[in-house]
Amino acid sequence: MIINMVSVNITFTNALQLSHNALVKRLALIEIWVFLAMVAIAILIVCGTARRRRRGTIFSFTVWTAYVLSTQILTYAIGLMHTAQFRNELFALWAIFLLILYGSSDSFSAFTLEDNEQWSKYTAEVIIQSLWVGSFVGLYAFTPQSHFKWNILVLFACLLYKVEERDQAFRMASKSSIARHTKLIADFMASEHDISIEDELDPNYMCRYNYLVTGDVSTLYTVKRPLYHHHLLITDEVITIKKIWRCKGRLLSPTGDPEHRLKDTCLSFALYRLLCRRFGGYSFAECKLEKTWNLIRYGLLSKEGDYERAFRVVEEELSFLFDLFYTKYAVMFKEGGYKLLKSRAADLAFFIIGCLVAINILRDYKPSDDDFNLFTAGGRVNIDKLLTGVVIIGICIMEIIQLILIMVSNWSKVMWICRYVKDESLQKNELFELFMKFICCRRISKPWERKLGQYSFLKSFNHEPNCFHYIIYKLSDGIVSLPRVGQKENRSIALPGLVTKAVILSLRNNGPRLSNGKQSLERNQIGNELSWACELETTTHVIIIWHIATSLCRIEFAGKASKLGSDNFMVATSLSDYCAYLMVFAPRLLPGHAVVTEFIFDQEVKEARKLLEGCKSESEKYERLMNLCQGGEVIEDSTLTERGALLAKQLIQHIEDESFRWKVLADFWAELMLFVAPSDDVTAHAQHLAKGGEFITHLWALLSHAGILKQDQTQTVAA
């Protein structure tokens, strides 16, 4: 009998021990998931704006993983807390802090454009999660033994404020919202030339443009019949480019802003607002006006060295566009300084109150007898309190960093510069000017990656995707694309200043009527011999043939270091490999249908493999191709590879001077680069903004403001 009782007691004790161990494991699992959720959200905050400066596959995959898992882990962690078979008052704090952190990322709102279109899905998820967390508030805040009481309600209010701001960012970046908000700009630009005086005697050309910067609220618009367009009354509150360039304040004077950096930031913002019309589906009413082209020719490119300035203006313009689609900055600055200060003040108040409440709770917190907590060995340290402290410190650090980034952002610069222009008393306030100089300091980091993707057809046509590519493709659910046969990217190169200069100067010298390279051949008096290579069926044909020809010319003179170091060589080879890269990896950014471009490329890979079977080195490929075109004439059914070899042979035969040959190629590629830039596929350009940016997107934006919106607005010279 006694033995049986002892046996029963031992069994009961073991059961209690097993039950206790199971509870410990469950609580430890919850804390691990809470920590992982915080790490995933922190990655999004840190890597938010960095996406426009990085194009690496590993980086993109990391951000995508954090983006997907942050929501899933957050939901799973809250679910574990909700279904736990024990009580822990800190569950409510953890759930609220995680959701606050989830909505706190100013530098990250959406991963793709599709996320903005699915704003209703995010709203539903947030409502469900908020209700779920709200159940914790009711469960733990309104019980007699609760330590929190009304304190936790303050944090819950902070939660609702944070997630609502991100919801606004999704809505604002959706197509319907952009179309609705850009109609005012579209209507204004239809009559902007009527209020701008063309023959105004002003030494500064930019004073001829009343492009809107800020202050044009809907209450200042009236509707004019019979077209029912919005008509804007330009009051003192409305800031235009003209007003900024005419400002007499020292900060914007030639001594205070010698390189026009502050003025150009406002110009970039005005151009960004105009560019949004393309995403709203509106026409550019000013594209046929001469003054539109003159903005580029005599405004941005008035001096030969202004190509750097023009590129800088477009860079900052696209940074505003990136922020609209992928961050919360556009929402925070939507209503100017008052809205920003009010929202940031409320944000800061909620943050300070929440942290003070949480710190006081942690300092004096002692779990009740009904609570189950996790302690270290010996019971000295409460791991639950420690985890809560880590979460609070993480929020503090990230909020401080984001506040600093907001203060020095281009959005903040535009807001304060416009305030400075509008208020003459501020133009005489030295303290305010010191503040302006602080927030308007130069960027710590570059706005874009400033790299050119590179692809060499003759080096990569034999490439086969490996198992690693298939694994990444499947794991990322297609976010990371699967390379096709022959699709192997070369190492990207830093965007050479020589390339930017060559392309921008080609635009300035050629005017708004662009060609696919034939004009450059005629200017170099070689058009009769080589123009056939521009008179082809599609732009894809032109790119492939000239790329192969340029590659063969590079192989021919590979041993001549003096020629390889020339400026024209750098321009020609860089742009040749970049256009080939666009054709292979970003066909939607080029003229023509992307599927047609991909099909032509795939067929040419098959044909090149047959022609160059057994050739390993570049010299062997060169000899094989040059021997194929002994006749020196174009055969109608010849492959593009054979035509490229024929073009290379003609370049070598007709242009004996090597320096001049590379000048011909450099001029051709600079002109072709401009020719392929106009595009109607605005979505493709917006998508690439989050992948490090593309040089062709910068040219696309620049040409849009020059009035060149479509391919048929350039001078097509194909037969």
d(CA 554, CA 82): 66
Same domain for 325 and 183? yes
Is residue 156 within 8 Å of residue 355, measured between CB atoms?
Answer: no
Query: DSSP state, 482?
Result: P
pLDDT at 711: 72
Domain final residue, candidates 301, 332, 363? 332
Residue identified by tokens 């069994």 is: 11
Asked if 554 and 690 sit in the same domain, the reply is yes
In this structure, are 146 and 195 located in the same domain?
no
pLDDT value at residue 472: 65
Q: C-alpha dihedral over 322, 323, 326, 328, to 10 degrees? A: -170
- Report pLDDT for 271: 96
Cα gap 139→539, rounded to integer Å: 66
**289 in the same domain as 149:** no
Residue 702 CA, chain-centre distance (Å), reads 17
Q: Which long-range contacts (CB under 8 A, 24 or more apart) does 237-240 make?
A: 237/422, 238/212, 238/214, 239/212, 239/213, 239/214, 239/215, 239/266, 239/418, 239/421, 239/422, 240/209, 240/210, 240/211, 240/212, 240/213, 240/270
Looking at the domain assignment, is residue 95 inside a domain?
A: yes
The 3-state secondary structure of 460-477, one letter per residue: HCCCCCCHHHHHHHHHCC
Are 249 and 350 found together in one domain?
A: no
Residues paired with 229 in a beta bridge: 224
List, for residues 210-222, the tens digit of each pLDDT value. Answer: 899 998 887 778 8
Contact between residue 432 and residue 417 where contact means Cβ atoms under 8 Å apart: no
Report d(CA 226, CA 651) in Å as an integer: 60
pLDDT the model gives residue 99: 79
Q: Are 328 and 344 in contact (CB under 8 A)?
A: no
Task: Identify the CA nearest to 498 among candidates 626, 666, 372, 632.
Answer: 666
* 433 in a structural domain: no
Domain-terminating residue out of 332, 363, 388:
332
Within 424-466, residue ranges assigned H as helices are 430-439, 457-460
Tell me the C-alpha distance between 574 and 594, whole Å: 23
Q: Are residues 116 and 202 in the same domain?
A: no
Q: Is residue 390 part of a domain?
A: no
**Are residues 567 and 696 located together in one domain of the fold?**
yes
Instruction: Specify if 427 maps to a domain.
Output: no
Tell me, yes or no, whether 161 and 183 share the same domain: no
What is the reported pLDDT for 551? 93
The reply to whether 210 and 268 lie within a common domain is: yes
Chain-centre distance for alpha carbon 698: 12
Q: How many domains does the chain have?
A: 3
In a domain, 397, yes or no: no
Give residues with Cβ within 8 angstroms of 661, minimum separation 6: 553, 651, 652, 655
Last residue of a domain, which of 304, 332, 360? Answer: 332
Question: Domain range spanning residue 315?
Answer: 176-332
Between helix 618-628 and helix 539-556 the angle, nearest 10°, is: 120
pTM: 0.88
| pLDDT attached to residue 2 | 43
Q: Does residue 678 sit in the same domain as residue 536?
A: yes
- Residue 96 CA to residue 718 CA, distance in Å, equals 63
Structure tokens at 226: 């019979």
Tokens matching residue 190: 């239809």
- Residue 217 counted as domain residue: yes
137 and 23 within one domain: yes
In a domain? residue 28: yes
Q: Are residues 216 and 152 in the same domain?
A: no
Residue 56 lies in a domain: yes
The conformation of residue 486, written as its DSSP 8-state character, comes to: T
CA distance 568 to 579: 16
Distant-in-sequence, close-in-space partners of 199: CB < 8 Å, separation ≥ 6: none
Task: Give pLDDT < 50 ranges for the chain.
Answer: 1-18, 201, 715-719
